[in-house]
Structure 1
């Protein structure tokens, strides 16, 4: 199994996992956005995305289907070596990172940079 590492200004976390979800509330539309990610070949792969509605800067992706009030689709983003998140302070919520049943908030403070990447599996340290 792979491991997910997360670095914030204050701490470093890691989980033994091959998948995680990332969600947030859009700053203008106040609508939830969710992404499902997997770790493959030491890269982060965006497997699916969904948004509860659409609006300013929140257009559903190509091939999106409306299912139970959520626009859902499979993005065509290439695998990423890392995912960098930066907090503007203008968003309605921080990001929520969930691994299995454990969730944590990221980027609650303005300008709080966060990095997610695949790292060697070690003892869990979250």
Structure 2
């Protein structure tokens, strides 16, 4: 059992609620001409990435949306809920996942062991 304090829970909820907008913002960093590339790589024959590798990792198939959706699946399983239905695009899925996780925040922050991972990702644990 993980019993997070109310401050940690509130911060975690705020962090979750910010995810759809941050995800969209990261997508903008991947657009050509965003000026957020990795820059010049000295001594390399390969061209530098035209965007941030971290932004690519967050937006990848195994990135943020997949991780949060796996947490939703785990919570649904623990609470005996039916599996989540298909929501559409990654953005739509993220919005639905965040809504589910925020809606179940009291239980998640009070009894779900993976909340420690969420807090570590956000630098609160």
- Where is the strand percentage greater, Structure 1 or Structure 2? 1
Q: TM-score, normalised by structure 1?
A: 0.24
TM-score under structure 2 normalisation?
A: 0.24
Higher RCO, 1 or 2 (CA under 8 Å, sep at least 6)? 2
Decide which structure has greater helix share. 2
